[in-house]
A = this chain, B = another copy of it.
């Protein structure tokens, strides 16, 4: 019931956008069916290429499936670090501490969402739905973060959840109640990321 779902998202858009940040430390407390339905109902309202809706959301909740996914995610996370020349926790720069923590514990998140594109060529088209999903979760007090999988585990994750051949995983997103807090993010100033009419001409209002 969309009207019902809409009314559950009653924080302001400003509060949702300005307090949404990556939440990587999650409580194991379960997320209710109705909250999941609201989050995914918000997802499917998003714009998408020619309204083809070539998206599918695989919701991992079973403890065994999450545990196995967690093992693959951890392997994938370290494969990415090794691609960048980091081979052990000791070698990692400080800003990797929180992502490494997630890589160790993602299987304990109560829900892991796999955002999938159901046809080749539609990966970009499913991404606006992901942002609706994170904002809706935020409105319900639920946090998470977007991550991509290293190519080395993609096939095994696809097998784990029996994906058909043409379906690809775009993002995996753990969801749960935050151990920390929502809050503002750090971003470049507007003047650095906006041009008017021609590249590099910064408008007076930015």
Contacts and interface: CB of A to CB of B under 8 A. Distances in A.
Interface of A: 2-3, 5-18, 20-22, 33-34, 36-37, 40-42, 44-47, 49, 51, 53, 55-62, 65, 123-124, 127-128, 130-132, 134-136, 139, 145-146, 148, 161-164, 167, 170, 184-188, 190, 193-200, 203-206
Contacts of A34: 205
A8 B14 CA distance: 7
B56 A193 contact: yes
Contact of A36 (B10, B139, B148, B205): B205
Contacts of A123: 124
24 contacts: A3-B18, A5-B18, A8-B14, A9-B14, A13-B15, A17-B42, A17-B136, A36-B205, A40-B194, A41-B190, A44-B193, A51-B187, A58-B194, A58-B198, A59-B194, A59-B197, A59-B203, A60-B197, A124-B127, A124-B170, A128-B146, A161-B197, A164-B199, A167-B199
Contacts of A3: 18
Nearest to A54: B193
A198 B64 CA distance: 12
Contacts of A44: 187-188, 190, 193
Q: Copies of this chain, how many?
A: 2
B59 A17 contact: no
A48 to B, nearest CB: 9
A45 B20 contact: yes
